[in-house]
Amino acid sequence: MVEIDNILPLVSKPGRYSGGEYNICIKDKNAVKLRFAFCFPDSYEIGMSNLGMQILYHCLNSESDVWCERVFAPWTDMEQEMRKNGTPLFAHESRDPVKDFDIVGFTLQYELCYSNVLNMLDLAGIPIYARDRGEECPVIIGGGPCSYNPEPIAEFFDIFSIGEGEEALPELSRLMIEMKENGTYTREAFLRKAASLGGFYVPSLYEVKYNENGSIASFEPIYDDVPAIVKKRVISDFNDPKFIPTKPYMPFIDTVQDRITAEISRGCIRGCRFCQAGHVYRPIRERDVDVISDAAKKTFENTGYSEISLSCLSVSDYTRVDELCDTLLDWTNEKSVSLSLPSLRADSFTRELMEKSGAIRSSGLTFAPEAGTQRLRDVINKCLTEDDLMNAVGIAFDAQKTSVKLYFMNGLPTETDEDTVGIADLAHKVIDKFYATPNRNRHRQPQVTVSVACFVPKPFTPFQWEAQVTRAELERRQKLLRDSIHSRKIRYNYHSADVSYLEAVMARGNRTLAPVIAEAHKRGIKFDAWDEYFDYDKWMECFDACGVSTDFFACREIPEDEILPWDFIDCGVSKKYLLKERHKAYEGKASHSCKDGCGGCGADKMGECICRNQK
């Protein structure tokens, strides 16, 4: 056990590290056969709010002879004390050093966590490069959204789990237990067998060759029994209650989300062409109303949380959303538990849904038009009209709400200055709608917040081939939008072009980025997702030192016949479908949603999909 009591009084928020939280899983480490350290490469407050970590912690600890413990990135003050005292990275439940575990897993939620991954490995005393690890080292595995292009960090990981881990990670754990018990375990033998399980990618078993221009010439397995295509894992029965954690660990300090999170569906029927989650989380599946309500009630009994948040990509697209709300309200009203529906779409927003959710008690609502003109909304397949938005905000204003938050993107493919100015025009129209609503709140002024992100081309989307506009051009468009807003009732927020540029580089990168990320770690770069620590110039120095072009990955339109770094992964949605959607974008044509008939994306071959009922 690592001794940290002497340094906890010296750091901010010692509750981040103390452990002992309510509902954590404690097992006899001498009685289990495998120990799994589940690492979240960001602060405790962010990681403790992550539903995926809760789910996999629950699934792994459901195995009687496996003990999964949590690990978070220590904040900079804690890291300083740890390095000063020679204290290695430790797990929260046992406080044992991470290097003593059998498997160390990282959930990769966003590209800007890569520097933290290396820093955590270094703090644990584990070599950052997979090739430098000996038999005594734990196996390092990565998963999560960023594993759909693992190549920029492939040299730092032994394995990647592609797709859903609820069944895959326990299966991998059982393989290691079996091999250690029968005496056949070595790192090399285990990795070779893991590659044949399905859904596991072992980078060391593949060879990559490059063309002179830096693009990929070939990507091949080095052994005949290693699959050329890694097919993502999809759980066998999304409706099975065993995959739903109903006794979640609870933090001692405030975190991003202190509430019950009820996952009601996976996948999305819409298919926005910029959205990775809407494609890679397919097939589209829904949980039964009774399964959701029963799990939420058990979670309430085990936590006492006073709010339930329904989690999916679009709550109002859940086909039985009214029935679900009524079923939950049957018992939540009595228990004084509020209901939150955070991802409502403007085109399916109703007064009834608003009144059933906690939104009725808040002063404002959030919608995501994404683009300022109908032309561009058709390009990106955001099936939302201006009338839809005006109807939704009209309902909100009629219910005495005074604030609306609108999410948009800058730099989308085919975007023009007219589209950029259209964002400001739409915001002004929302203000006008407030004053045109007879039953508005006459005691307060309206407030419209326009929040604009920068488009980042992501793998497994129809826009994965698109170039990101240059940083200078993004900044020009941001200024154009700012100058087009003429009302003090409109607040304008926008994302950093520098951050989005680095995100695009990492999102479409290949293995040549590994030396750059290692150099960034060497120079002390970490917590890139936090404004106070992100240092664009320092990152560019790392790229220059390694002779790697950032524009090659971020600002280059990729030819459709070029081998993509992630082409060896089968996410369910076919490349043929993505290309068809890309071509429709340039024709300005939107596609219908899955509820109006199967669009032929191919994800239904992975398992039961909601679109099968529409064929």
User: Over the stretch 184-197, which tens digit does the pLDDT of each residue have?
Assistant: 999 999 999 999 99
The burial class, CB within 10 Å (0-12 / 13-18 / 19+), for 228 is exposed
Model pLDDT, residue 615? 44
In a domain, 513, yes or no: no
* Token pair listed for 168: 């895959």
Distance CA 432, CA 546 (A): 53
In a domain, 304, yes or no: yes
* Tens digits of residue pLDDT in 73-124: 999 999 999 999 999 999 999 999 999 999 999 999 999 999 999 999 999 9
Model pLDDT, residue 121? 98
My answer on whether 124 and 110 are in the same domain is yes
Q: Give residue 134's domain range.
A: 8-231
The burial class, CB within 10 Å (0-12 / 13-18 / 19+), for 598 is middle
Task: Look at the chain and count its residues.
Answer: 615
Task: Reply yes or no on whether the pLDDT at 164 is more than 60.
Answer: yes
Beta bridge partners of 140: 104
My answer on whether 404 and 342 are in the same domain is no
My answer on whether 213 and 129 are in the same domain is yes
CATH of the domain at 397: 3.30.750.200
Distance CA 146, CA 168 (A): 17
| DSSP SS3 for 358 | helix
Mean pLDDT of all residues belonging to the chain: 95
My answer on whether 52 and 173 are in the same domain is yes
Of 460, 495, 530, the position where a domain reaches its end is 495
Distance CA 489, CA 399 (A): 19
Task: Check if the beta carbon of residue 90 is closer than 8 Å to that of residue 4.
Answer: yes
* Tens digits of residue pLDDT in 317-341: 999 999 999 999 999 989 999 988 8
Report the pLDDT averaged over residues 153-177: 98
In a domain, 514, yes or no: no
My answer on whether 71 and 183 are in the same domain is yes
Of 441, 467, 495, the position where a domain reaches its end is 495
In a domain, 610, yes or no: yes
| Nearest of 204, 209, 207, 205 to residue 225 by alpha carbon | 205
My answer on whether 460 and 413 are in the same domain is yes
Of 465, 495, 525, the position where a domain reaches its end is 495
Model pLDDT, residue 209? 98
Task: Reply yes or no on whether the pLDDT at 362 is more than 80.
Answer: no
Task: Reply yes or no on whether the pLDDT at 267 is more than 50.
Answer: yes
My answer on whether 104 and 194 are in the same domain is yes
Total tally of structural domains belonging to the chain:
3
Task: Check if the beta carbon of residue 338 is closer than 8 Å to that of residue 306.
Answer: yes
Phi, psi of 76 (to 5 degrees): -60, -35
* Token pair listed for 276: 């990775």
Report the pLDDT averaged over residues 414-425: 98
My answer on whether 398 and 472 are in the same domain is yes
CATH of the domain at 36: 3.40.50.280
CB atoms within 10 A of CB 335: 11
In a domain, 507, yes or no: no
Model pLDDT, residue 352? 84
Cis peptide bond N-terminal to 283, omega within 30:
yes
My answer on whether 131 and 217 are in the same domain is yes
Model pLDDT, residue 358? 61
In a domain, 240, yes or no: no
My answer on whether 215 and 339 are in the same domain is no
In a domain, 505, yes or no: no
pTM for the full predicted model: 0.95
For CA atoms 576, 581, 587, 590, give the dihedral sign.
positive
My answer on whether 121 and 99 are in the same domain is yes
My answer on whether 324 and 408 are in the same domain is no
The CA-based angle 390-392-396, given to 5 degrees, is 110
Model pLDDT, residue 573? 96
In a domain, 517, yes or no: no
